[in-house]
Amino acid sequence: MSADATKSPHTKDVRRTSRRPTTVSIVIPTLNEEDCILDTLAAAAATHPHELIVVDGGSVDRTRGAATAAGYLVIEASRGRAVQMNTGAAAATGDILLFLHADTRLPPNALGDVTRSFADARIVGGRFDVTLDGPEPIFRLIETLMNVRSRVTRIATGDQAIFVRRSAFEALGGFAPIPLMEDIHFSFRLKRHGRVACLRSRVRTSARRWRRHGVWRTMVLMWWLRALYAAGVSPDWLARRYAAIR
């Protein structure tokens, strides 16, 4: 007889009785993103979130002006993606927080997929699969490796639009205020806090970094940085090296 068959009919199944969070706040940290921010905002708005918050870290281009003129809420924070995302989370009121990079577009069904994943009360957060926007075959290989690695390790990068229950985010204290690897650091802590959903629906993110610096050079750089971070090298040192290489 199965374990389920031995349950009393009066036994509560936590996965079915816990309240499913339904409102999603999307937080977008920005810094000099005038070329892509309106397209990202339009795609995000089309998913009908509870609220959409742009957190600008001191852009000197038209990022803030363009977003404000289009009717979106823009708040300011000190420069640094972790600080900006924490500031946006503090201003948000949704049950679920979704952190979206300024060059990443959500699919139309994104929020439905997110809220459905929380039908299992053990799920504390998750991420999407990713598609790079370049047509070259090498990008199909890169995105496949990214998605498989993330599915196996339950570790996500910011490009994958990390989402999390507000209660879990607050319990973890938000993103660590470090200048690099804040997404990896948060993912490690999140998967220790509960189950992580790896959605198969895909966000579409820009391949501009790969084009600007070269595909193989960028791959080697990212592997090298992650290996050093895993070995315990300070994110501050890594950030300085990353800036110098870029």
pLDDT of residue 214: 82
Type and span of the H or E element at 166? helix 166-172
Q: In angstroms, how far apart are the furthest CA atoms of the chain?
A: 66
pLDDT of residue 4: 34
pLDDT of residue 242: 66
pLDDT of residue 3: 34
Mention every residue, 6+ apart, whose C-beta is less than 8 A from residue 21: 94, 95, 96, 115, 118, 165, 166
Cβ atoms of 131 and 143 closer than 8 Å: yes
pLDDT of residue 234: 80
In the chain, where are the structural domains located?
16-208
Mean pLDDT by 10 residues, the chain (246 residues): 32 44 95 97 98 98 97 97 98 98 97 96 97 93 94 95 97 94 95 97 91 79 75 75 52
One-letter identity of residue 19: R
Report the relative pairing of strands 51-56 and 24-30 from DSSP bridges: parallel
pLDDT of residue 11: 30
pLDDT of residue 117: 96
Distance, in Å, from the CA atom of 60 to the CA atom of 71, rounded to the nearest integer, reads 20
Q: How far is CA 243 from CA 58, 74, 237, 246, in A?
A: 18, 27, 10, 5
Alpha-helix residue ranges (DSSP H) falling in 31-135: 37-45, 63-69, 81-91, 110-117
pLDDT of residue 243: 59
CATH class of 16-208: alpha beta
